[in-house]
């Protein structure tokens, strides 16, 4: 079995980058999709949840709770602290941006990528839910403590987002699995073309809506892309490394997916509302490595014998 990227990985990257390019070149067309980004994410998750082991999701034991607590603490406290400290020394202008991006919750599509990589989709989903509910408390506290800036995030809004984007497709997938199990699994097995179309459209909408932060600043854009790529590799590497150091007690690939596939769009919303263009620029630039980091994670999954087939 090859440990390298699969054709589906390259197809996903092509769809993702193609969507970003389309939104950049034809923003008037892409902006039509922008109001429906949440529905796009819910669609991707619905197709992924058709293959979810629901028994594993509800199975709560000491090991799973300990892993969830570890990854949540790392995602919301330790990782943003480290990112801020290193960036404050090496590139002080970007320190606040790195803090905001690193301290946001795990991305709602991280369970999809976890499943694609053969990691624990249920564990990734639990991390999304825990970090999404706690980030409105942890991120403002870190920003005020380290940068002396005030921001606020609504726990109610985060709960509503979880209900709309995660719980709705989760419940719908569960109903489909119960009522039409063979049809649901058949759709899941053949869902790649639909996923690619959704990801293309979603990225076109994202770029059309937020591309303003990437235009007219060529040098800052290159710096933001470079820093975003370094952060993505660091997030993934820390997750994988911690899994190795734990001697199997922690699932490094699942943790790496939760850390690397972070909710950069939510971070962008925060940056747009409370901070400046530099912070928004980094969060927008992370959209590219968000998908590109799939390749090193696939290589790591193959070497660890964790590929999905």
Whether the pLDDT of residue 213 is over 80: the answer is no
Across residues 6-30, what is the average pLDDT? 94
Whether the pLDDT of residue 36 is over 50: the answer is yes
| Residue 25 within any structural domain of the chain | yes
Regarding predicted confidence, which is higher, 103 or 210? 103
Q: Are 57 and 124 in contact (CB under 8 A)?
A: no
Run of H or E including 289:
helix 287-292
| Residue 6 within any structural domain of the chain | no
**How high is the pLDDT of residue 162?**
79
> What b/e sequence results for 69-95 when a residue is b if at least 16 CB atoms lie within 10 Å of its CB, and e otherwise?
ebbbebbbbebbbebbeebbeeeeebb
- Mean predicted lDDT score pLDDT of the chain: 90
In the chain the first and final C-alpha atoms are separated, in Å, by: 9
pLDDT tier for residue 305 given thresholds of 50, 70 and 90: low
Q: Which segment, 1-5, 64-68, 83-87, is predicted with the most confidence on average? A: 83-87
Q: Between vectors from CA 303 to CA 301 and to CA 306, what angle results, nearest 5°? A: 40
Model confidence pLDDT, tens digit, residues 108-120: 899 999 999 999 9
- Cα–Cα distance, 75 to 124 (Å, whole number): 12
| Residue 307 within any structural domain of the chain | no
Which stretch of 44-58, 61-75, 245-259, 293-307 has the lowest confidence by average pLDDT?
A: 293-307
State how many domains the chain has.
1
Across residues 174-188, what is the average pLDDT? 91
Across residues 150-177, what is the average pLDDT? 85
33's tokens = 């999709």
Which stretch of 64-73, 120-129, 204-213 has the lowest confidence by average pLDDT?
A: 204-213
Say which CATH number the domain at 284 has.
1.20.1530.20
pLDDT tier for residue 3 given thresholds of 50, 70 and 90: low
| Residue 280 within any structural domain of the chain | yes
Which stretch of 80-89, 200-209, 215-224, 278-287 has the lowest confidence by average pLDDT?
A: 215-224
| Residue 3 within any structural domain of the chain | no
Q: Containing domain of residue 239, as a range?
A: 12-301
**How high is the pLDDT of residue 289?**
97
**How high is the pLDDT of residue 1?**
43
Residues paired with residue 269 on neighbouring β-strands, in sequence order: none
Long-range contacts, 133-140 (Cβ 8 Å, 24+): 133/158, 133/159, 133/162, 134/72, 134/76, 134/105, 135/76, 135/103, 135/104, 135/105, 138/76, 138/77, 138/103, 139/76, 139/80, 139/100, 139/103, 139/104, 139/270
Regarding predicted confidence, which is higher, 46 or 56? 46
Model confidence pLDDT, tens digit, residues 77-98: 999 999 999 999 999 999 999 9
**How high is the pLDDT of residue 307?**
40
pLDDT tier for residue 304 given thresholds of 50, 70 and 90: low
| Residue 60 within any structural domain of the chain | yes
| Residue 7 within any structural domain of the chain | no
Q: Residue 286 gets which letter from DSSP?
A: T
| Residue 306 within any structural domain of the chain | no
**How high is the pLDDT of residue 158?**
77
Across residues 171-176, what is the average pLDDT? 94
pLDDT tier for residue 286 given thresholds of 50, 70 and 90: very high
Whole-model pTM? 0.90
């Amino acid at each position: 079995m090859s440990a390298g990227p699969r054709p589906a990985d390259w197809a996903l990257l092509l769809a993702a980058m193609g969507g970003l390019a389309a939104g950049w070149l034809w923003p008037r067309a892409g902006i039509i999709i922008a109001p429906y980004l949440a529905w796009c994410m819910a669609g991707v998750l619905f197709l992924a949840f058709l293959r979810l082991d629901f028994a594993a999701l509800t199975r709560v034991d000491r090991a799973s709770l300990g892993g969830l607590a570890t990854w949540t603490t790392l995602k919301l406290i330790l990782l943003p602290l480290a990112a801020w400290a290193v960036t404050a020394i090496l590139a002080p202008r970007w320190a606040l941006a790195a803090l905001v991006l690193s301290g946001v919750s795990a991305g709602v599509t991280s369970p999809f990528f976890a499943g694609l990589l053969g990691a624990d989709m249920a564990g990734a989903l639990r991390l999304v839910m825990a970090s999404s509910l706690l980030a409105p408390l942890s991120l403002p506290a870190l920003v005020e403590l380290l940068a002396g800036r005030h921001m606020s995030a609504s726990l109610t809004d985060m709960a509503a987002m979880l209900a709309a984007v995660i719980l709705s497709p989760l419940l719908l997938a569960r109903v489909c699995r119960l009522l039409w199990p063979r049809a649901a699994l058949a759709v899941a097995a053949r869902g790649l073309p639909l996923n690619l179309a959704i990801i293309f459209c979603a990225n076109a909408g994202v770029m059309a809506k937020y591309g303003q932060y990437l235009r007219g600043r060529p040098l800052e854009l290159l710096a933001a892309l470079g820093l975003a790529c370094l952060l993505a590799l660091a997030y993934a590497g820390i997750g994988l490394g911690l899994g190795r150091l734990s001697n199997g007690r922690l699932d490094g690939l699942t943790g790496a997916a939760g850390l690397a596939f972070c909710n950069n769009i939510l971070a962008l919303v925060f940056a747009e509302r409370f901070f400046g263009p530099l912070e928004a620029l980094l969060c927008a630039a992370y959209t590219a490595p968000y998908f590109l980091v799939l390749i090193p994670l696939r290589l790591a999954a193959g070497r660890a014998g964790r590929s999905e087939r």
